[in-house]
Amino acid sequence: MNIEIRAWEKTDIDLLAGLANNPYISSKLRDGFPFPYTKKDAEEWVGMIAVMVPPTQFAVIADGQLVGAIGFIIKENVYRKNVEIGYWIGEPFWNQGIASEAIRLLVDHIFLHFDIVRVYAEVFSNNPASMKALEKNGFHLEAIHHKSIIKNDKLLDDYCWVKLREGI
């Protein structure tokens, strides 16, 4: 399977709305990710990130088809050498290694283009598949923040996975 990450395009809006409108995906992401996820949400998202400089949010493409999203946030102030990544893959494409490859591509991009030392992801305890994808990419479990998340009225643990730039 050929996996790539690329800039979002207006032609992605309908597929994005269809893939993202899923309670299982929403249950594993922060509350800023809406559910239900509408075409209007997709239009606003694509419009907002189209003007980001530098681009930090990407579509995940598998064999030419939109299958999910991945991106990063460059931290500021004393955390300016840190990047937080986030991602999701549409349910029809789970368990195919797509997230693992998209993570690898994104981390390579970050280390190549940015003066970053530390890349991390925070994963809810209800998402072991995401933790496995990070581990496959050389991330290590740095911390577990017990009962630190409230999602859908349930208390969850937050797992912090980290990858450091080699040679640091």
Model pLDDT for residues 3-62, shown as the tens digit of each residue: 999 999 999 999 999 999 999 999 999 999 999 999 999 999 999 998 888 999 999 999
Provide the number of structural domains found in the chain. Answer: 1
What range defines the domain where residue 143 resides? Answer: 3-164
Buried b or exposed e, range 96-109, using 16+ CB within 10 angstroms = eebbbbbbbbbbeb
Tell whether the model's pLDDT for residue 110 goes beyond 90. yes
Q: What is the pLDDT of residue 55?
A: 93
Q: What is the pLDDT of residue 138?
A: 97
Q: Report the amino acid identity of residue 60.
A: V
Q: How far apart are CA 22 and CA 19, in angstroms?
A: 7
Cα 28–chain centre separation: 11
Whole-number mean pLDDT of the chain? Answer: 96
Structural tokens at position 75: 């931290």
Q: What is the pLDDT of residue 167?
A: 76
Task: Provide the CATH number for the domain around residue 86.
Answer: 3.40.630.30
